[in-house]
Amino acid sequence: MPIQRKFDLPASPDALSFSSPKPVFLLFIASKDPATGESWCPDVRASLPHIEAAFAADDAPTVSFVEVGQKPEWRERDNVFRTKWDVNNVPTLARFERVGDKVTEKGRMTEDGIMDPATLKAFMAY
């Protein structure tokens, strides 16, 4: 399935759009450094190849990348990703599912889980 590299994040998880009964996966990552063209976060740079390989399979679900900003923005306590989405580490891979009319977060993992192929595959299973 596709990797959606740019994703317009809604105001809250309840506003996530589900086009099928499959889970929605969001990967919160550090934005690209304008000087290098790569993420400013070394953990994100190390994790991306694992995400790209796992989600590139034909039977894989879709993952949407959400950039959290440059380092100064990310470090602000009132950063929307921290306050509305409870993201405190990058990268963070979050799984959301619709149960009835409610959106529920079913789990999340950071770089340690992302970089373990078996753990990542189990997390992606639906």
Tell me the pLDDT tens digit for each residue of 41-99. 999 999 999 999 999 988 888 899 999 999 999 999 999 999 999 999 999 999 999 88
| Active-site option among 26, 41, 44, 93 | 41
Q: Please report the pLDDT score of residue 95 as a whole number.
A: 96
| 41 in active site | yes
Q: How many domains does the chain have?
A: 1
Q: Please report the pLDDT score of residue 85 as a whole number.
A: 92
Tell me the pLDDT tens digit for each residue of 4-50. 887 888 888 888 887 777 888 999 999 999 999 999 999 999 999 99
> CA 69, 74, 76, 79 torsion: positive or negative?
positive
Q: Please report the pLDDT score of residue 1 as a whole number.
A: 54
Task: Decide if pLDDT at 101 tops 60.
Answer: yes
User: Cβ neighbours of residue 90 under 8 Å, at least 6 residues apart?
Assistant: 28, 29, 30, 41, 43, 44, 68, 74
CATH (domain of 20): 3.40.30.10
β-strands 24-29, 92-99 pairing: antiparallel
Task: Give the C-alpha separation, 113 to 7, whole Å.
Answer: 23
Domain enclosing residue 54, as ranges = 3-124
